[in-house]
Amino acid sequence: MRSRSTRRPEPSWTRSGGRDDIAHRIIGAVGNPHLRFTEDGLRCLRAVRFMVTLGFDICEETKAAIPAHLDVLRKVSAERIRDELCKMLVGPEPSRGIRTMVECFMLEAVGLPEIIPLIGQTQNRWHLWDVFEHTMAVLNLVPPVLPLRWAALLHDVGKPKTATIAAVTDKFMGSTRGWNKDGPEFRFFDHDTVGAEIADAMLQRLKFSNEDRERVVLLVREHMVGFALAANPTGAAVRRFIKRVGKDNLDPLFDMFRCDALGTGTRVKPFDDDLGKLRQVVDEELARPAPKNPSGLAIDGDAIMRARSIKPGAEVGRIVKALMERVLDDPSLNTVEALTALAKEV
């Protein structure tokens, strides 16, 4: 064992000690950060995660060493990276972690390169910030529930691919110009659908379970529905919405609707009022004794096969789907007699 008198001098970046770091709320490598990150590339990401979950800062020497070891981070398994990202995202201010990863060029190494194009992607007069800053705002606003935080991070990931300059005549914006005082205004048609596809690929890359991945993708795909549905919450439209998303996803979706609006940085109180009315209609429909999915229909597949004198197959499923659509339009049709007659006509 080397005696204290012959020990090699500590490097200049060594701080006064772990207790002082805790007292000053600092995250730092033990000794030489380059050696620590070479030993395990995940430590780069873990430093960011601790920063977010503990509310600490990363010391400058440790932070400066991260970009030099991204090749080691890329060799870490997707499962280990996923777990660290999940712990970070449910922290009190997850946007700090994403911003730090941007500063340290980490996004590609941790499997999130699709976040990079959000930076600087301008929007329109409904938004004070670009897509990245809007995303960071929504990410901090939504409750710290893992699927919801992932959905907030990815909800607008489809915007860069769908960005188009607004039409010269734009009735929605009440303008005849496609430009604002700062430059072009963009529209992002179908960005929710495109974003859901991108999010699905990203979560597969990070080895999420099918159940978790599908739930996040659903939240991304449906995050714009609230704006249209709140404007005209008819019974049939609301029943289709409930059937499509499922009862368990209603609360997180309403969180997404509200936080997405708040994250624009513009006035959202009128939308809050509409959202409250929409939630009331949804709750009323949930309380009605009407089927929310095919299992609630008054007749089943066997009854349909008898009514049509057909064998099991795709046609039965097609008829069930058609009957469900009719019942969503008019719940009073959900009787054995009415559905049997409809099954013969479909």
pLDDT tens digit string along 204-226? Answer: 999 999 999 999 999 999 999 99
Task: Give ∠ CA 128-133-136 in degrees, rounded to 5.
Answer: 130
* Unique residue bearing structure tokens 């659908």: 193
Q: Which residue has the higher pLDDT, 118 or 327?
A: 118
User: What's the confidence (pLDDT) of residue 171?
Assistant: 47
Confidence band for 8, pLDDT divided at 50, 70 and 90: very low
Average pLDDT over residues 151-171: 84
Residue 187 has pLDDT above 80, yes or no: yes
Residue 177 has pLDDT above 70, yes or no: no
User: What's the confidence (pLDDT) of residue 11?
Assistant: 41
Sign of torsion, CA 328 329 331 334?
negative
The chain-wide mean pLDDT, for the chain, equals 87
How far apart are the C-alpha atoms of 9 and 32, rounded to whole Å?
12
How far apart are the C-alpha atoms of 137 and 263, rounded to whole Å?
5
Residue 20 has pLDDT above 90, yes or no: no
The CA–CA distances, whole Å, from 14 to 56, 293, 318 equal: 18, 62, 69
In contact, 138 and 152? CB cutoff 8 Å = yes
Residue 14 has pLDDT above 50, yes or no: no
How far apart are the C-alpha atoms of 192 and 223, rounded to whole Å?
7
How far apart are the C-alpha atoms of 239 and 251, rounded to whole Å?
16
Winning range, highest mean pLDDT, from 114-128, 277-291, 313-327: 114-128
- Convert the pLDDT of each residue in 288-305 to its tens digit: 877 778 888 888 989 889
* Unique residue bearing structure tokens 């995050």: 223
Report the amino acid identity of residue 163.
Answer: A
pTM as predicted: 0.81
Domains of the chain (ranges plus CATH)? 19-110 (1.10.110.30), 120-287 (no CATH), 294-345 (no CATH)
The encoded tokens of residue 105 equal 């060029």
User: What's the confidence (pLDDT) of residue 12?
Assistant: 42
